[in-house]
Chains A and B, each alone.
Chain A
Amino acid sequence: MQQAISCQNLTKHFGEKKAVQGLDLEIGQGEVFGFLGPNGAGKTTTVRLLNGLLAPTSGSATVLGMNILEDASAIRASSGVLTETPGLYESLTLEENLRFYGELYRVPANDLDKRITDLLEEFDLVDRAHDHVGTLSKGLHQRMAILRALIHDPQILFLDEPTAGLDPAATRQVIELISDMSQKRGRTVFLCTHNLDVAQKLCDRIGVIDHGILQAVGTPKELASELWRQCQVELVLGNVNDSRLDALREAPFMLNLAVHGDQVSVTLSDDEKIPELTRWLVQNELDVYSVTPQQHTLEDIYFKIQGNDESEAGE
């Protein structure tokens, strides 16, 4: 599969400030990639580098196979960007905004009317086509901003905090829209966000950047298994007694065992040991109501990575 984004040692310094340092990253086409990090971590600078707005201090990158230095205009023609400030003209109507950006993105004049109508219908904004953008609610405004980023049917979307300031209903709508972009249209999405819940729902893989350095990259599961070598499993068992618990504690796969009422919490060396645990429970004639491996949320993963970073910095 061709990579949608490929960065090799991508670096950007602003004087003394090292905004992005030696970024190596590969993102496949159709992937939703979450780029997480605190304010000033280097997320926006990376998006600007990848769209050829800034020249790297060193290193290189390609977007859709095009070099960010030599083919910047072609990259921008194929990418749709939603910036944190959406760049809509409040005193122009929705239709005027879309027409303007359609012309800038060189949508053929013959197709532009249809494209605008189709998008407004699809985003349920057709009734507001002739209203000024300034009259839209925050949620509709953001929906319009995403729509604007899609006016030229881009292959790749860069979304910077697409749910910032939205209420839960509007956030859900935006999540659905982004999900559709990836699943129905096969578009690659590069999502910069602080919102870990949104990232958890949308992203195939995530990267965590801080102080311009990519701290970790992978699927949430991969990152969790890297961060937590051991596996915590919650058991709900019937007919438990002390001798059976003692036998379980002595089982070869067992690292730790704790009892909380009718729940038993066990620690295994890794999740590959879960089938072995289940077999042992059945063979020892324990009534098994549930075996639940503890899932680490993206929030756990993110803060664990950030925590690691802090401990390293302190060393």
Chain B
Amino acid sequence: MMKFEWRTIKAIARKDLRLALQNKNILVPTILVPAIILVIIPAIMVSVPRWASLDEMSYDDIEPFIRMITAAGLNIDMSDYVEAWIIGSASYMFAPMFLIIPLMTSSILASDSFVGERERHTMEGLLYTPVSTRDLFIGKVLSAFVPALIIEAVSFVAYAVVVNAAGYYAMQRIFFPPTFWWVLLLWLGPGVSLSGIGITVMISSKTQTFVEAQQWSGILVLPIVLVMVGQLAGVFVLGTGIVFLIGAIFWAVGIAATLYGAKTFHRSELISQV
């Protein structure tokens, strides 16, 4: 088997990342979306009981949260609606939304890396270099995967700080993250990222522009919406086991899609798309 040229792979990943950092179409969503989803909205949600009197709410009003927490087997005083609200929203309701971050960043970066090269008319120049298409492909996948993981980790830390700080008035302790969030962060999140990249690579061979690739990548959010709806409908509740299982599915899809993308990433095929 041919040796990996890590210097070259790193050069490709570094170059793609540098281009992404200079592109407003990439920077704005990758900063704004995490800020809105994981900082502003959770801070408001967790703070709701400070402004609205939950004591006057009936059990039915917050029944989905209560169901989530009881199904997760957490030892919480269910008569304390404020605590149930805070834990239900911070730990459970936002968990699927958190996954949008690795999914969105990985698919945006992968679109720019794969389709952007064609759009900028720079692919031909790369194909004339001695770099193998395997190393070129790995460099491009890493240019999306590694930043997606870093953004996911940074978002996680920011989210943990925000919800603990916003909920401290009622909880009087650091309540976040529960155990399953670690599995979500370290296993499911990277699986979602790889799926985003793999599917984007498949889409990218059929699209001509970054915007077009992004439009098609929008369908990737559907599985995450399903997780969100499934949980709120009481079909399942996120816990260590189910997060691990969902993670395994995303990893399987991600690996299959990426390997398929790698198979179609061939010099003669790529040059015909130039």
Real binding pair: yes
Complexed CA–CA distance, A148 and B126 (Å): 12
CB–CB B125/A87 < 8 A: yes
What 0/1 readout, one digit per residue, does chain B (124-167) give for beta carbons within 8 Å of chain A?
11111111100000000000000000000000000000000000
CB–CB B130/A74 < 8 A: yes
- Chain B nearest CB from A287 CB (Å) reads 61
What 0/1 readout, one digit per residue, does chain A (25-52) give for beta carbons within 8 Å of chain B?
0000000000000000000000010011
Assess whether B174 is interfacial by the CB under 8 Å rule. Answer: no
CB–CB A53/B11 < 8 A: no
CB–CB A76/B121 < 8 A: no
Choose from B11, B15, B121, B132 the contact partner of A87 (Cβ within 8 Å).
B121
Choose from A53, A76, A77, A87 the contact partner of B271 (Cβ within 8 Å).
A53
Chain B contact residues, majority secondary structure: helix
- Chain B nearest CB from A99 CB (Å) reads 8
CB-defined contacts of A52 to chain B, threshold 8 Å: 267
CB-defined contacts of A89 to chain B, threshold 8 Å: 15, 19, 120, 122
Assess whether A92 is interfacial by the CB under 8 Å rule. Answer: yes
- Chain A nearest CB from B249 CB (Å) reads 36
Choose from B15, B22, B120, B128 the contact partner of A100 (Cβ within 8 Å).
B15
Assess whether A55 is interfacial by the CB under 8 Å rule. Answer: yes
Complexed CA–CA distance, A51 and B268 (Å): 11
Assess whether A8 is interfacial by the CB under 8 Å rule. Answer: no
Assess whether B8 is interfacial by the CB under 8 Å rule. Answer: yes
Assess whether B18 is interfacial by the CB under 8 Å rule. Answer: yes
Complexed CA–CA distance, A119 and B8 (Å): 21
CB–CB B124/A76 < 8 A: no
Complexed CA–CA distance, A96 and B21 (Å): 14
A residues contacting B by CB (< 8 A) are 48, 51-55, 73-74, 76-77, 79, 81, 83, 85-92, 96, 99-101, 103-106, 109, 148
Offer 29 A-B interface pairs, CB within 8 angstroms, sorted by A: A48-B271, A53-B127, A53-B268, A54-B268, A54-B271, A73-B130, A76-B128, A76-B129, A77-B130, A79-B128, A83-B128, A85-B121, A86-B125, A87-B126, A87-B128, A89-B15, A90-B120, A91-B22, A92-B15, A92-B18, A92-B19, A100-B15, A101-B129, A104-B8, A104-B12, A104-B129, A106-B5, A106-B8, A109-B7
